[in-house]
Structure 1
Amino acid sequence: MDKSLITLSIEEFGFALASLGADDVAAGLLKPMYGELKENEWELVLRAASHSLLSKGLIVRMEENEIEFVPELLDMLVHFAKSRSMLRGYTDWDGQEKVLTIHKGTESGDPYLYHLSIDQRIHLFTWTEPSEWEEELYRLYVGQARTLPLDTSSRFQLPESQWSQLTENPSLENADRLINEWSVNAADKDLIVSWCADFQASGRSLDNLSIMNYSQEELPAAESILLLLHTDNHFWSVYDAPQESDAETLITIERTGENSLRNQLQGMIKQFANQ
């Protein structure tokens, strides 16, 4: 990205949020890392963070009851705190937990804020636009140097109730039993067995991409979600198929290459940008 990039530690980010009055958000950020600390211990953590921000030149003035951040950081923090809609990608496939969140502004014409968290400890911020998101998300999930076959796609579909049975116990023995009960055709049988083997090998861990919106609740709700599973040579993607309102939800499980994965990312990006 050919834009200014601001990098904060989790402590610096927490201090900055608390300084703007977002104490609950700051506490939610820091407590998973530090646990329950005494008041004087929190003061030491935050004091160290303030000195670090000063040394980076991100605080231009700090007095006892007033802190002035550089304008660009202040704009990013205010945008982060006010945003009610976001596109959020999560992955931990390469040994690092990475969360990429695109925060939408509250006014028409507002820029989008890019926020990448690495193992919760490092937070990177910059401004971004929709044309950049496909490649950013693709590389988040696939990695910088890795490639996928361009055009491979095969899928099967299950009602949500059957999907739940399969994921609760994805052992091959249980999969074979369920396949026989459901009278699955031969092509779908092979895909289901392959999915179960890959899901088991992953430790039953899935990455995800979701559109999150706040309403009146304290926590955002997922409006749409795409689940992703890595293998050495391809991805599995899992998503709801369009259905009549009174029909049971139908789950699509698709083995994808690069083209299909990019198309699915584009669909989520378009839905988020146009809402």
Structure 2
Amino acid sequence: MSEHTYTFSLEELGYALAVHQGEEMAAGLMKAFYGDLPEESWQLLFQAATHSLMAKGFIESISEENGEVRFIPEIAQMIQHLLHSNYMLRGVTDRNSTKALTIHELQQRYLYHLSDNHTLHFLAWTEPVDWEEELVRFYGLRPSEATGAISSEFKAVITEALWSRLTAAEAPAPSLYAELPADQQHLIAKWHHAFQANAGTMDNLSIIRIGSGDQTAIEHIMFFLPADEGVWVIHNQEEDRNAEPQICIELQSVSACRETLGYFAANLLR
């Protein structure tokens, strides 16, 4: 990641987007946190954001005659990148606090955007060589945890229908997956216990493309759940999108999961 990381409050980023003709993105960002506010309240928020951005040196000048606001060139480039990128890698975790890491691609340049609990936003340029380490840090995978190869006994492959029933059930009956080998039944029961202990949620990592009409398509997605022994990794191992999904539930060591994260992130380059 580049040496320069710029930190914005929610209000500062919303204002910067609005100044660069990104009113819709700014409104979506702000309303997700504040809800609907009267016009005077928005004006007060943006006025405070203007003063804060000027104090940080992010704004070069404001013309009182025509109201033109000039940000420093690098920040202006970053905001334009956010507005025009339609292909991205996005990671989300709700452990400790809600965080989202998005790497926005535009013309083979990549912008790192970390949102912490919706209130702070960090922007920096990044390179593919850094992504594995950045994702490991984002998901909090500790090097001290178990490492080494994971054997096939720590892996189960199930249908999408069974996956839907498992994630919907508080305590799924063993009869749901009785057709699986005994070791896979044990693995699924162990995963489900961890899943319920985490309030029925998991971290996720996805490749997203925004098409015409702002239609959002998830091209690839993977779920993660840290465990004492390593990390639960869940993904569809069927490469043909028109075929029946084959949901793989796998317990990986931290070192194996690092490689999985790096390999998944590389989809953004393909």
Note the alpha carbon deviations across 1:123-179, whole angstroms, 9 max, x for none. 111111000000000111125x563211253110101111111111041xx231313
What is the match of residue 149 of structure 1?
A: 146
1:186-205 aligned within 5 A: 186-205=182-201
What is the match of residue 83 of structure 2?
A: 81
What is the match of residue 60 of structure 1?
A: 60
CA contact (8 A) 1:229 1:236 kept: yes
CA contact (8 A) 1:210 1:223 kept: yes
What is the match of residue 214 of structure 1?
A: 210
What is the match of residue 91 of structure 1?
A: 93
Distance 1:155 1:273, change over 3 A: same
1:217 partner SS: helix
CA contact (8 A) 1:114 1:125 kept: yes
Unaligned runs of 5+ in 2: none
1:91-240 aligned within 5 A: 91-93=93-95, 95-105=96-106, 107=107, 110-143=108-141, 147-153=144-150, 154-171=154-171, 174-180=172-178, 183-240=179-236
Counterparts of 1:52 and 1:70 in 2: how far apart (Å)?
Answer: 14
CA contact (8 A) 2:103 2:113 kept: yes
Aligned-residue sequence identity (percent) comes to 37
Counterparts of 2:173 and 2:157 in 1: how far apart (Å)?
Answer: 14
Distance 1:179 1:4, change over 3 A: same
Counterparts of 1:222 and 1:255 in 2: how far apart (Å)?
Answer: 24
**1:15 and 2:12 correspond:** no
Unaligned runs of 5+ in 1: none
Counterparts of 1:179 and 1:241 in 2: how far apart (Å)?
Answer: 19
CA contact (8 A) 2:7 2:120 kept: yes
What is the match of residue 42 of structure 1?
A: 42
What is the number of residues matched between the two proteins?
A: 265
CA contact (8 A) 2:238 2:244 kept: no
2:26 partner SS: helix
Counterparts of 2:2 and 2:43 in 1: how far apart (Å)?
Answer: 36
Runs of 4+ off more than 3 Å:
243-247
Counterparts of 2:145 and 2:50 in 1: how far apart (Å)?
Answer: 44
Note the alpha carbon deviations across 1:193-245, whole angstroms, 9 max, x for none. 10111111110011100001111131421100011112233211110012666
Instruction: Report the AA paired with residue 148 of structure 1.
Output: E
CA contact (8 A) 1:175 1:193 kept: no
